[in-house]
Chains A and B, each alone.
Chain A
Amino acid sequence: QQQVKQSPQSLIVQKGGISIINCAYENTAFDYFPWYQQFPGKGPALLIAIRPDVSEKKEGRFTISFNKSAKQFSLHIMDSQPGDSATYFCAASNYSNYQLIWGAGTKLIIKP
């Protein structure tokens, strides 16, 4: 119940295309869903996060879509650029957890 399942494991997208990464969870108590971006040689950094009171959150080219009934959330990267090539992690938590539960990560490669 504490797992967050992330797919795909790796993804190759052409420059200018849309990158989509999906995550699913089981614990209905989760109420905070962040996405982190990690470049080689660096630690992950927060990209965007959502609470379940909204179905979508957009920041620039990055959008989180949230489906509470399906217990799924996804990251969409519009107009994908080579600089977006990185590993992306979804995560989930609730207030009493004191910890984030992480997906396994998606390695995204944007081909020029």
Chain B
Amino acid sequence: KAGVTQTPRYLIKTRGQQVTLSCSPISGHRSVSWYQQTPGQGLQFLFEYFSETQRNKGNFPGRFSGRQFSNSRSEMNVSTLELGDSALYLCASSFWGSSYNEQFFGPGTRLTVL
């Protein structure tokens, strides 16, 4: 079974630009969660989608948004980029959701904002 894939792996943007990151979950998984990882801050939960519906949202500004398509693929968008948005963005998929289910993570997209 193919694992979780994320594209692109690396991205360099400048302040004020916007960016879209993509995540393809493991086949059959209906839940996709997004996390921001920065050194010393651990994993900060952004949002979770299940069957195309946002089921849970973390404490991030509205510049961060996402969506899920009918094939469970998910995209995350960040508008008006700030220097502080530089981070590793991780996507994780699971069958039902993260509460009791093992989450399978992709390798992440490393975003650098200049």
Contact = CB atoms under 8 A, between A and B. Distances in A.
A79 to B, nearest CB: 25
A42 B105 CA distance: 8
- Chain B contact-residue range equals 20 to 34
A103 to B, nearest CB: 6
Nearest to B96: A98
A104 B35 CA distance: 13
Interface in A97-111: 97-100, 102-105
A25 interface: no
Contacts, number: 63
Contact of A104 (B4, B42, B103, B107): B42
B100 A32 contact: yes
A75 to B, nearest CB: 15
A102 to B, nearest CB: 4
A65 interface: no
A93 interface: yes
